[in-house]
Amino acid sequence: MTTINGTLQGAGLRIAIVASRWNDTIVNRLKEGAVDALRRTGVSSDDVTIVHVPGSFELPLAVQKIAATGKYDAVIALGVVIRGATTHYDYVCSATTSGISKAGLDSGIPCLFGVLTTENIEQALERSGTKAGNKGEEVALAAVEMATLLKQL
Ligand code: INI
């Protein structure tokens, strides 16, 4: 039997973070969580590139383009979509989710989904470093695990 696992040893990995400016107070907390987690795994700050886009809807195109350069071992997408009163939420969530997934499958590079999709701002705050963890940290660790896993496959 052969078992293959990724690791949380990030030294030498090159990581891109794409962050949306919508709800930037909360996105910044995700970004801080991601950068801190990457540093703790040994990723050098020189190997982290941060790119900003207007909103979550724009994340997939930037993620796809960055992944296609072949310069990065993983691309992390960060955003916050809050439902509010319109169906706009559903369209933005749907396009963002499927686009980021497609970018990963098309490029063969792990493209991580660090987009909070919540009913209200309280839920987003809870998931950005208060009582329900920090989604940015979670996806950064997943990025290192996937990048180190794919190198073995
Ligand atoms: N973008 C977000 O990242 N979060 C939101 O909550 C949001 N809302 O509520 O509308 C949002 N909209 C902007 C969208 O992502 C695009 O930037 C815009 O439609 C231009 O394409």
Distance CA 73, CA 13 (A): 6
Residue 54 is encoded by which pair of tokens?
């207007």
CA nearest ligand 1 atom 1, residue: 55
* pLDDT tens readout for residues 13-41: 999 999 999 999 999 999 999 999 999 99
Check if 88 has its Cβ closer than 6 Å to any atom of ligand 1. Answer: yes
pLDDT at 38: 98
* pLDDT tens readout for residues 82-116: 998 667 899 999 999 999 999 999 999 999 999 99
Check if 81 has its Cβ closer than 6 Å to any atom of ligand 1. Answer: yes
Q: 115 with 56: CB under 8 angstroms?
A: yes
Distance CA 56, CA 22 (A): 7
Q: Which of 5-14, 79-88, 130-139, 140-149 has the lowest mean pLDDT?
A: 79-88
Distance CA 136, CA 145 (A): 14
Q: 63 with 18: CB under 8 angstroms?
A: yes
Q: Considering just the CA atoms, what is the radius of gyration of the chain in Å?
A: 15
CA nearest ligand 1 atom 6, residue: 81
